[in-house]
Amino acid sequence: MEKILGLDLGSRTCGIAMSDALGMLAHGVETYRFPQPNAYKNCAKHIKEIVEANNIHTIVLGLPKHMNGDLGERAQISVDFKKRLEDMMDVEVILEDERLTTVIATNNLLFGDVSRKKRKQVVDKMAAVEILQGYLDRNRK
C-alpha cells in the first residue's frame, strides 16, 4: 500500500498529516502557515513538494460541513482547492467530512496538558491527523 496525505485546510494554515506505508496509522507532518491569508496557490505548491517527495497518489482533504450537513463558503473553498490539486499533479483527492475534528484535536491536546501556545501551533496538524485517521479506519481492508 502507499502513503496517503491528509489535509485540514484553513484560511491561514493547512494542517498536514501522512499515513504509514500500511495505511493503518496517521501521524502529523506539519502545520503550513500561509505567507498571507487565503494564499492557497502557495499552499498547493508546498503540498506538491510533499507529494512528489513521498510518491503520494491519494490526498484526503477535509470538507467543512455545517452540523446539519449543509455546505457553506468554507466547503466551496475546499472543493476549489481539490480541483487545484488535481490540476497540478496526478493525485486523487478525496473530500472527507471534517466536522468536529478540530474540537477532537483540541480536546486531545488539552487532555495531554499541552500549553495554549503549543496547542495553537499544532492543532491544525492534529486535526489533519483526525481527518486522515477517520478515513483510514473506514477504508481498512
Q: Give the domain CATH number at 110.
A: 3.30.420.140
Q: What is the predicted pLDDT for the residue at 101?
A: 62
Q: What is the pLDDT of residues 81-93, one digit of tens each?
A: 999 999 999 999 9
**What pTM value is reported for the model?**
0.85
User: How far apart are the C-alpha atoms of 120 and 63, rounded to whole Å?
Assistant: 21
Provide the number of structural domains found in the chain. Answer: 1
* The predicted structure's pLDDT at residue 28: 93
β-bridge mates for residue 63, sequence order: 97
- Kindly list the strands in the beta sheet with 92-97, ordered across the sheet, starting from the edge strand earlier in the chain: 26-33, 13-19, 5-9, 58-63, 92-97
Q: What does the longest C-alpha to C-alpha distance in the chain come to?
A: 41
Position 74: which residue type? R
Q: Which residue range(s) make up the domain with 116?
A: 5-138
CB neighbours (10 Å) of residue 104? 16
111 pLDDT tier (thresholds 50, 70, 90): low
3-state secondary structure of 29: strand
